[in-house]
Structure 1
Amino acid sequence: MALSREQIVAAAIEVADEGGLDAVTMRLVGQRLGATGMALYRHIANREALIEAMIDAVIGEFCYPEPRPSHWRDALAALARQDWRSYLAHPWMLAATATSRPPMGPNMLNSMEWALACFDGFDLTVRERLYLFSVVIAHGQGLALTWTQDRRPGATKWWQEQLAGVDMPRLQAIPAEFGDEELDFGEEFEFGLQRVLDGLQSYLDNR
């Protein structure tokens, strides 16, 4: 069968979604497409290049909105929510992008330029823009690291079992607060995001 770079990248993303980034090999992706691993090298130089293409494809899938919201807070909230959705849809993206040296594909570059432009109109240094942007990104990455490791239902029940008989009033208040309600990681993400943005608001106001 005739292969295209887009088909190869899409198949590799499917493999990573099912088995994680370590599962992605040229041989396995080729098998999924009914081709040999060697056939893939006509379109993709190596596994590293394939992973870079996968990352950029997902970034394009969850691209930031255009036009960008006019208020910096709305823009950064939209950015954080898109990144959060990408981590839940493709958990391997977290490990692939939470690094000081992320692959700089076209979509990655466009997304970073979009993010840094959120602070246009403020008298900020390049360093300040980068650090403020990183604070927002880190919130989603940190919470996703917790929730993408184990997304099975029943987290509330697990906490109730662990804290049963623990004579510590503040810990006992946790199951009392939630009862049978399932822990909502989306709610936790939104709550934390707004507090992060509150902190940025305070910094920019004082700045």
Structure 2
Amino acid sequence: MGRPSLSREQIVATAIEVADEGGLDAVTMRLVGQRLNASGMALYRHVANREALLEAMIDAVAGEYGYPEPRPPHWRDALTALARQDWRSYLAHPWFLAATATCRPVLGPRMLESLEWALAAFDECELGSHDKLRLLGVVSSYVQGLALTSTQQGEGESVSQYWRDRVVGTGMRRLEQVAAEVSDETADLDGDFEFGLQRALDGIALYLETR
């Protein structure tokens, strides 16, 4: 009985699994081939090279976390949906953040659709292109920044214990109070995300009202 035939979709899905486990640096044609019990040459019949594979992975995740249709008509609801979807994608695939947090992202079909969707959130606002990009940057930078710190917590002691061990006893009363009152048990990452997102959107609303 022969080996089951490979497909581009299988290769991309396996590469995403590898990246989820070990980051983008772990993704090689050889390792992906091993996971699929296939030779590197078999992969090259579907994907030209590693760079093309990474581009396909990025576009696949962009499609997996596509923004909702129909798009909410009000800009605030649309940007809320955008931010929440990006947040979920970064937590599910931390490497996706590193791959897309750049001014020159991979622009596959699904990424282009996402960017078009995002810009359309401001269709009812009288804004120039530069302002649209700036305001999208406020939201995307917030989501990316919080996702970066949340997915880079490292191994070993808990985050709250890390801070207590290094702050308590310094005599810096404000820091000591925070370290004593904030714990892993009281942490609410999604709540923190929602709080910051709504404050960012409040700022955009104020700008739109008073500019």
Say whether the 8 Å CA contact 1:155–1:183 is kept in structure 2. Answer: no
Q: Which one of 112, 116, 119 corresponds to residue 119 of structure 2?
A: 116
Say whether the 8 Å CA contact 2:158–2:184 is kept in structure 1. Answer: no
Structure 2 vs 1, CA of residues 7 and 200 (structure 1 numbering), >3 Å: closer, same or farther?
A: same
**Greater CA drift, 179-188 or 37-46:** 179-188
1:159 aligns to what? 163
Q: Which one of 84, 96, 99 corresponds to residue 96 of structure 1?
A: 99
Show CA shifts across 1:133-153 (max 9, x none).
111011011111111112667
Query: How far apart are residue 77 of structure 1 and its match?
Result: 0.8
Q: Superposed, which structure 2 residues align to 1:158-177 within 5 Å?
A: 158-177=162-181
The TM-score with structure 2 as length reference comes to: 0.93
Show CA shifts across 1:31-83 (max 9, x none).
11110111111111111110010001001111111111121111101101110
Q: In structure 2, what residue type is equivalent to 1:203? A: Y
2:29 aligns to what? 26
Q: What is the rounded CA distance, in whole Å, between the counterparts of 1:116 and 1:100 in structure 2?
A: 16
Q: Which one of 72, 75, 98 corresponds to residue 75 of structure 2?
A: 72
1:15 aligns to what? 18
2:209 aligns to what? 205
Q: Which one of 65, 80, 84 corresponds to residue 81 of structure 1?
A: 84
Query: How far apart are residue 180 of structure 1 and its match?
Result: 6.2
Show CA shifts across 1:92-148 (max 9, x none).
001100111101111100100000000011111111111111110110111111111
Q: In structure 1, what residue type is equivalent to 2:44? A: Y
Q: CA RMSD in A?
A: 1.4
Q: What is the rounded CA distance, in whole Å, between the counterparts of 1:74 and 1:151 in structure 2?
A: 34
Q: What is the rounded CA distance, in whole Å, between the counterparts of 1:32 and 1:179 in structure 2?
A: 40
Q: What is the rounded CA distance, in whole Å, between the counterparts of 1:99 and 1:151 in structure 2?
A: 23
- The percent of aligned pairs where both chains have the same amino acid is 66
The TM-score with structure 1 as length reference comes to: 0.95
Say whether the 8 Å CA contact 2:163–2:179 is kept in structure 1. Answer: yes
Q: What is the rounded CA distance, in whole Å, between the counterparts of 2:190 and 2:150 in structure 1?
A: 10
